[in-house]
Amino acid sequence: MAKPSAFRILSVLSNIERKKLLNYLQTKFFSNRKELAPLQQAWQRMQGKPMNEEKLFATALPKKSFNKRDWYLLLSRMQDATEAFLGIQHYRADGMQQQLNILRALRRLRLPVFFERTLRQARKQREKEHRAEANMLLWDYQTELEYYDFIASPKRGERTNLQAVTDKLDQFFIAEKLKQACLAHSRFLANQEEYEIQYLDAILDDLQSRPELFKVPAITIYASCYQAVVAGGTEQDFLRLRKVLGRFRDYFPETEIREIYLLAIDCCRQEMNAGQPSFLKETQALYQESLAGGYLLIDGFLPAKTFSNIVELGLKSANYQGVATFIRNYEQALPGPDREPVTNLNVARLFYEQENYEHALQALQAVDTKKPYLHLSAKVLQLMIFVEVQEWDAVDGLLQELHTYLQRRDDLGYRGENYRLLLYFCRRLQQLKPGDGASREALANELEAAPSFAEKEWLLGVLS
């Protein structure tokens, strides 16, 4: 039986949040439904046991007989109350938004003394918090708009702050559009998703003609990111991004800074893949900074892909001890379901680079997962080992297994095509006859001309 939505929400709340919710349900100002608090308490007592609908209903509404219609109505009311509680909690956590709403209320009540005092306090708090994200530019605009309405409504002949209103709106629009352009590029790199961001050309022209806009940190950081990463700027552009990132990163939410770090890292990886080894140290520095700042953690966990990318980077620089230390220190930061397979896969990669193929294969046997990315990564590494040691019967069996697996999957996108290229060239390699230099050279030329894929350089090394 599927868990009702109301209880699914309750199940992910912390104990402190559940206590606050109970207080909320027991307060007449927020809830006039006396049955909801007993329902929550009864559900909490029954946690870990099969759900008894009739017993829960009887606890909440002891004077009513159970029927499905009233049970679903009770659940609906519980869900509505819980969602309203979450909304209030979110509102109370954002002091700046509270002050904006208070300003709106005071303006409508036509209380100028209270309005002006609250406006001064809000602006003073804004300066203290040093928040620079685009959403705070929206807050600046909305606050100026409230002040405009406060001045303009009763005093039509008095000069207003309309210039400040439009300037703040411009700043928010420009910063948010640049941010969306950077996020769209990030999604393209991750999943080949394509998005069209309007007005970018006009914004870039505006930035050229109005350099004073770069005094706004959100515009500076996203314009620098766009120029260096999305537009494929020069090394000077990248150094400018590193400079503004170091200067302003503490003024932005971790989620936004994480995206910028990941984009900068992707930029470095592209430069390395294009034959610029000097970017290896820069990528390592970016990973170290973002790890130390906690920017790479999502809900307290380090994503499996990020974990594997850091290992790959260490292996490229042959820092085997550093990689072993990283795996040991951060394996517990991996999400629970991914922890064991991702750890074993990367331990196998470390052994492979050290040419300890026996231990690498043992680690790969422990990679038990249904996730395509992890499953295919483990199988490809197995294939590479079998080719290295020229176990051609094992290569043949694994190629057939991977061919069947790829035929059954239609959700791999461009990555599926990359794996098919690997299988094709491994099969061609397997068919080479000893001493047939002409065929080997022809295969190398064909491989050179093929689209890029992860194992291309490895295969060229095997052929040579």
Mean local confidence (pLDDT), 390-401: 92
Of 93, 127, 154, the position where a domain reaches its end is 93
> Is 195 a member of any domain?
no
- 115 and 160 co-located in one domain: yes
Mean local confidence (pLDDT), 263-268: 84
> Is 211 a member of any domain?
no
10 Å CB burial of residue 411 (0-12, 13-18, 19+) is exposed
How many residues comprise the chain? 464
Q: Model confidence over 194-209: pLDDT tens digits? A: 999 999 999 999 999 9
Residue-range definition of the domain harbouring residue 391: 370-464
Asked if residue 93 has pLDDT above 90, the reply is no
In angstroms, the CA 413 to CA 190 distance is 11
> Is 318 a member of any domain?
no
User: Chain centroid to CA 72: how far?
Assistant: 36
Beta-carbon contacts of residue 69 (< 8 Å; ≥ 6 apart): none
Of 154, 172, 190, the position where a domain reaches its end is 172
Mean local confidence (pLDDT), 132-145: 94
Within 359-402, strands assigned E span none
Q: Tell me which of 275 and 338 has the higher pLDDT.
A: 338
If one counts every other C-beta atom within 10 angstroms of the C-beta of residue 78, the result is 25
Asked if residue 287 has pLDDT above 70, the reply is yes
Q: Model confidence over 139-159: pLDDT tens digits? A: 999 999 999 998 876 666 678
Per-residue model confidence (pLDDT) at position 2: 66
> Is 285 a member of any domain?
no
In angstroms, the CA 218 to CA 272 distance is 28
- 380 and 460 co-located in one domain: yes
- 76 and 127 co-located in one domain: no
Per-residue model confidence (pLDDT) at position 204: 95
Asked if residue 223 has pLDDT above 80, the reply is yes
> Is 389 a member of any domain?
yes
Write down the residue that tokens 């046991």 correspond to.
Answer: 49
In angstroms, the CA 240 to CA 262 distance is 16
Q: Model confidence over 146-193: pLDDT tens digits? A: 999 988 766 666 788 999 999 999 999 999 999 999 999 988 887 788
Q: Model confidence over 311-351: pLDDT tens digits? A: 998 998 899 999 999 999 999 999 988 899 999 999 999 99
> Is 155 a member of any domain?
yes
Per-residue model confidence (pLDDT) at position 316: 87
Q: Which of 140, 115, 106, 110 is closest to 125 using CA atoms?
A: 140
Per-residue model confidence (pLDDT) at position 155: 63
If one counts every other C-beta atom within 10 angstroms of the C-beta of residue 440, the result is 16
Asked if residue 263 has pLDDT above 90, the reply is no
10 Å CB burial of residue 40 (0-12, 13-18, 19+) is buried
Asked if residue 1 has pLDDT above 60, the reply is no
If one counts every other C-beta atom within 10 angstroms of the C-beta of residue 173, the result is 16
- 145 and 70 co-located in one domain: no
Mean local confidence (pLDDT), 66-92: 93
> Is 336 a member of any domain?
no
In whole numbers, what is the pLDDT of the chain averaged over residues? Answer: 90
Per-residue model confidence (pLDDT) at position 94: 87
> Is 413 a member of any domain?
yes
